[in-house]
Amino acid sequence: MQSWLAAHFFEDRMEDHAANIIAAIDSAYRNETPQEPRSYIGASIIGNPCDAMIAFQMRGFPDSQVEPKLKRIFKMGHTIEDIVVRDLKKAGYFVQEIDGLTGKQYAYDAYGGHVVCHTDGQIELDRGEPSILEVKSMNDSSFNKFKKNGVKAAHPRYFAQLQMMMGMSGIQTSLFIAQNKNTQEYHAELVGFDPFEWGYIEARIGGILSGSAQKLARDPEDWRCRGCFKADACWGDARPKPLCRNCVHSLPREEGGWWCGLKERKADQPCDKHEYFKPKERD
């Protein structure tokens, strides 16, 4: 009897110890110093249907708290990009994940740096002409939707991302590769430039740059808001330090920087009239 109790006590202690290890890892993620939020309109978010969310990012508002497991998913996504690039090279394709001119990731910008897109690289598929390379990892359900319906129908946000990258780079084709996280299967689609989709994206960008961004929903409990990274900024009181770019009186300048519409001059220092940007409420 005493031996059984000792063994049972040991098992409980081991389970507690294992649980504490996981809790410590998650705590370390939560205590990480937050990264400086991006302050431009990027291709990775242009497919988001909410103009307010994109405007908050352009103006550098902080993200809502992200759970540790989601942070790990993001990290794994970068790892998978490296694996896919290595596999493409192993198959004999010429892939450049780094821009030889800058030594960094391929990037294209417009409107004074207020609109920027980064690509996973470029790949030569036919006659030496480059194509944009974009890599994603998907769960089984998302992957099967992509295989059955194609990226435009299955994942319109990714399709918009591809169109923005092609529109800004002038490259006419993109190779979109997805990896099934459950089975490690690959599926790829060659996507051509769609000038009508790019025209729609440009019109959206113009509206956001002009300060006319509107919320997508009327209620913070809307399902589209609950998972949004800018929900705390949009519906709550999450605010960055006062800067001209996050002031309602400022608009981005085409040559870069910001313009104060209140004082009608280049905005470079926040003043006593600073007021945090707010998107328009949903009609």
Q: What is the pLDDT of residues 87-98, one digit of tens each?
A: 999 999 999 999
pLDDT at 127: 73
pLDDT digits (tens, 9 = 90+) for 229-250: 899 999 999 999 999 999 999 9
pLDDT at res. 46: 97
Does 215 have pLDDT greater than 90?
yes
Reported pTM: 0.87
Measure the CA–CA gap between 134 and 146, rounded to whole angstroms.
14
Residue 258: pLDDT above 90?
Answer: yes
Per-residue pLDDT at 10 exceeds 60: no
CATH number for the domain formed by residue range(s) 66-209: 3.90.320.10
pLDDT score recorded for residue 12 = 57
Q: Answer for the pair 37, 61: CB distance below 8 angstroms, yes or no.
A: yes
Quick one: pLDDT at residue 28? 66
pLDDT of residue 221 exceeding 60: yes
Band of pLDDT at residue 9, cut at 50, 70 and 90: very low
Which pLDDT score is estimated for 66? 66
Cβ–Cβ under 8 Å, residues 165 and 122: no
Mention every residue, 6+ apart, whose C-beta is less than 8 A from residue 83.
Answer: 179
Query: What was the pLDDT predicted at 21?
Result: 73
pLDDT tier, 20 (very low <50, low <70, confident <90, very high otherwise) = confident
